[in-house]
Amino acid sequence: MSGLTAGHQYTLYAYRGFNSFPTTGIEGYDDKIEFTATSATWSYTDPRAFLSDDAIYYIAVERTDRAVARAVAGAMRQLECRKGGSSSTSFHATLDDSGWAPGSGYFTVTDASIMDNYHSAAPLVCVGNDFKRPISCVGYDNGDSGTLVQVTLTPTPTGLPTASYRFLNISEDPVARPPQTKGPWDCSVTVTG
C-alpha cells in the first residue's frame, strides 16, 4: 500500500472469495489486520494461500480519520432481512451509529418492523447494539393486542446477522404450547445517508 502517513493507524479488511467484496460499507470481512504505518508505504504478506481460480480483496481504512470512518460505517443504514425473494415476508430496521464513536461498529436499532404475509408488528423495541452478539426486538402484533412478536438477529461469520421470529400469545401457557420459531432469513445492509 502507498499514500500512508507515518505514525497513523490503519485497519486492513480482507474479503475471501470471488464474490465477497462488499457493495456498501465494510461488513462481511473475513480478516481484520490493524497496523501503524512507519512510512508512506506498507506491505502485507497474507499467511493464508488461495487457489488460482479464487480471489482475495482488501480495503484499508485510516482508523483516526473521522471522515473516512464515517463514510465507511455510514451514519444511517437500513437493515433488511427477507424470506428468500419474498416481498411480503421481511424485517426492516434503521441502524443509526451517529451516537457512537465513528468506525466502532456500534449502532442504535430504530424504526424496526416485521411483515409476515398479513401479520405485522410496528414499532418493535430492540435491545443490542452490534452484530457480534444477538439483538432482540419485541412488539405487539398489530392485528392482536394479546399477541407479541419477537425477532432475534443472530450473528454469523459473514458479519451480517440472520433473522428469526416467533409470535407469542400472552394468554397461552408457553410450556404447554411452545411458540414456533420461523426463519432464519438472510439480512443485508444498505447505506442511506
8 Å CB contact between 166 and 191: no
Domain boundaries, the chain: 9-64, 76-191
- Looking at residue 26, its pLDDT comes to 72
8 Å CB contact between 153 and 160: no
What residues pair up with 165 in beta bridges, in sequence order? 151, 182
CB atoms within 10 A of CB 29: 22
| Model pTM above 0.85 | no
For residues 75 and 84, the model is more confident at 84
Q: Is the pLDDT of residue 131 over 50?
A: yes
Which among 70, 88, 16, 31 has a CA at the least distance from the CA of 191? 70
The arithmetic mean of pLDDT across residues 25-44, rounded, is 84
- Separation between Cα atoms, residue 80 and residue 186, nearest integer Å: 8
Handedness of CA 119, 121, 127, 128 (dihedral sign): positive
